[in-house]
Amino acid sequence: MKTRVAIVNSANENYEMEELKLGEIHPNEVLVKMVASGICQSDEGMRLGVGEVPMPIVLGHEGAGIVEKVGSGVKDFKVGDQVVMAYNYCGTCDSCRTGLPSSCEQFNELNLTGGARDDGSYTFYREDGTPVYNFLHQSSFSTYTISSENNLIKVDPDVDLRMLGPLGCGLMTGFGTVVTALKPETFSSIAIFGTGAVGLGALMTAKIEGCSTIIAVDIHDERLELAKELGATHTINSKTEDLHEQIAEITHGVGVNYTIDTTGVSEVMEASLKVLAKGGKSAPLAVSPNSLSFNPYMDLVMKRRQLVGVIMGDIVPQLAVPKLIEYYKEEKFPFDKILKYYRFSDINEAAKDSTTGKSIKPILIIDEEYRKDEPIEYVR
């Protein structure tokens, strides 16, 4: 069977459209006809070579589609199911069994090394038989893809799949970081550095969880306006305002209880630690090559602060995604406000718009026939 993909041949190159052959579906796998896919900052990180994934590769990991065929061992999905896709995990290691599949012992092998199965076979091949690597066992920048059943989250037939892909990565990461990793108390304060999809997902969640002071920090005023609309009680433009002064004023000199950094910029990560109150907790989330420096005695011990690592929101995708859809329907998580739609063939423009900040969350429409009677507005 053939599939049309956006391929990256080597680091730093643009996406190119190409037709590939799909391999065989294995017993625990599912063939998905893609409807749409978000573009995540990590896709860009991988394309630019920061993540060191093997190439040529089909990226994309915020996919949504319809089950076209299931492997012989798949019990929970059937042909025609609407699915959102997240990452793969083994399901049987201690982390998976204790509800932390994003810390799966086999996370790297299953997600980041190209997708060879135990028998050495791959999900994508070129006409000449050479394999093309997959990403997070998903590779959603493709008209059809072979995924694992552990990647999939079934969603109701009534919901519009075209908007749902980002729930499987960026938005779930922001959501999970708040509800699972930081667990802010009602009336506590939180500052979110960077108002992209992860930051805004965290911000909407902080509001749901009852944080009474929600500070959004960014360098773009339009983004800060949107953050306010989505629940920020305070905004700081750290380019034009003094961050430390502002935070001291907002928190009456105490500092913030919780911070999240989504920028990966050294000084910003450092600031997100240093503005914490005593007993505060900070989560730097970005896939970034940068480091941060701090003095453990002064910055942690004396203030009893914590710096925590969180991956994919430390949450089970199959629990998080349906919950987020429920919150969306209740108008508590209006993530539609951050989405912009592009045609699949405009993937390079869409990726560029996400880097320049023109689009917070670009979504590629891969199947333009899906719900054709409910047209959506394209950026170009």
Q: Which chain residues interact with ligand CXF by CB under 6 A?
A: 40, 42, 169, 287, 311-312
Nearer to Zn ion, 6 or 169 (CB): 169
Left if phi > 0, otherwise alpha if psi is -120 to 50, otherwise beta: which for 139?
left
Which of ligand CXF, Zn ion, none sits in contact with 312, Cβ below 5 to 8 A by type?
A: ligand CXF
> Is position 40 an interface residue for Zn ion (rule: CB under 5 A)?
yes
Separation CA 312–CA 297 (nearest Å): 29
Q: Does 42 bind Zn ion (CB under 5 A)?
A: yes
- Closer Cβ to ligand CXF, 137 or 234, answer by number: 137
Residue 156 φ/ψ region, left for φ over 0, alpha for ψ in the -120 to 50 degree band, beta for the rest: beta
Name the residue nearer to Zn ion (CB basis): 169 or 268. Answer: 169
Q: What is residue 162's three-state secondary structure?
A: helix
- What is the number of the residue whose Cβ is closest to ligand CXF? 42
**Shortest Å, Cβ 284 to ligand CXF:** 13
Tell me how far, at minimum, the Cβ of 123 lies from ligand CXF, in Å: 17
How far apart CA 239 and CA 145 sit, in angstroms, is 43
Select 152 or 224, whichever has its Cβ closest to ligand CXF.
Answer: 152
Among 83, 155, 169, 273, binds Zn ion (CB under 5 A): 169
Please report, as residue ranges, which positions from 198 to 237 form the binding site for Zn ion (by CB under 5 A): none
- Nearer Cβ to ligand CXF (41/123): 41
Residues numbered 63-102 forming contacts with Zn ion, rule: CB under 5 A: none
Q: Return the number of the residue (109 or 368) whose C-beta is nearest ligand CXF.
A: 109
Calpha distance 306→181 (Å, rounded): 11
Shortest Cβ 156–ligand CXF spacing (Å): 25
Interior/surface letters 165-176, b for 16+ CB within 10 angstroms, e for the rest: bbbbbbbbbbbb
Under 8 Å between Cβ of 147 and 276:
no
Instruction: Give the 3-state secondary structure of residue 106.
Output: coil
Give the span between the Cα atoms of 139 and 87, in whole angstroms: 10
CB of 348 to ligand CXF, least distance (A): 19
| C-alpha triplet 155, 162, 322: angle, nearest 5° | 25
- The reply to whether 171 sits near Zn ion by the rule CB under 5 A is no
Could you tell me how many residues make up the chain?
380
What's the min distance (Å) between Cβ of 189 and Zn ion? 27
Minimal CB distance residue for Zn ion = 40
Residue 139 interacting with Zn ion (CB under 5 A): no
For residues 143 and 34, is the Cβ–Cβ distance under 8 A? yes
Q: How far is the CB of 312 from ligand CXF (least distance, A)?
A: 6
Contacts of 238 (CB under 8 A, 6+ apart): 217, 218, 219, 268, 271
Q: Which is nearer to Zn ion, 42 or 262 (CB)?
A: 42
CB of 227 to Zn ion, least distance (A): 20
> What CA–CA distance (Å, rounded) separates 118 from 120?
5
What's the closest the beta carbon of residue 303 comes to ligand CXF, in angstroms? Answer: 29
Binding residues vs Zn ion (CB under 5 A): 40, 42, 169
